[in-house]
Amino acid sequence: MNQLKPAVMIGKNGVTETVISEIRLQIAKNRKIKVKILGSAKEGTTCKEIAEEVAGLTRTKLVDVRGNTFVISK
């Protein structure tokens, strides 16, 4: 997980269509990406819940969740 740099950041607006589109684009290019969640994006949810939502919406596999970052792969 340390070798990857965050390809996408989820900001204060949370998981939006724009974020999902960008994640899909990055996954198509790289097959495995790291996503960083900013503290303002959480609003009562955990990073794991957000990561699972993103993985479901993008039809990817959740590889790892650490702190405010997670890795998904195709």
Q: Are 63 and 32 in contact (CB under 8 A)?
A: yes
Angle, vertex CA 11, rays to CA 5 and CA 17, nearest 5: 95
**pLDDT > 90? residue 68:** yes
Q: Are 3 and 40 in contact (CB under 8 A)?
A: no
pLDDT tens for 47-67 read 999 999 999 999 999 999 999
pLDDT of residue 2: 66
User: What fold is seen in the domain 6-73?
Assistant: Translation Initiation Factor IF3 (3.30.110)
pLDDT of residue 1: 59
pLDDT tens for 13-51 read 999 999 999 999 999 999 999 999 998 888 888 999 999
Could you tell me the pTM of the whole model?
A: 0.90
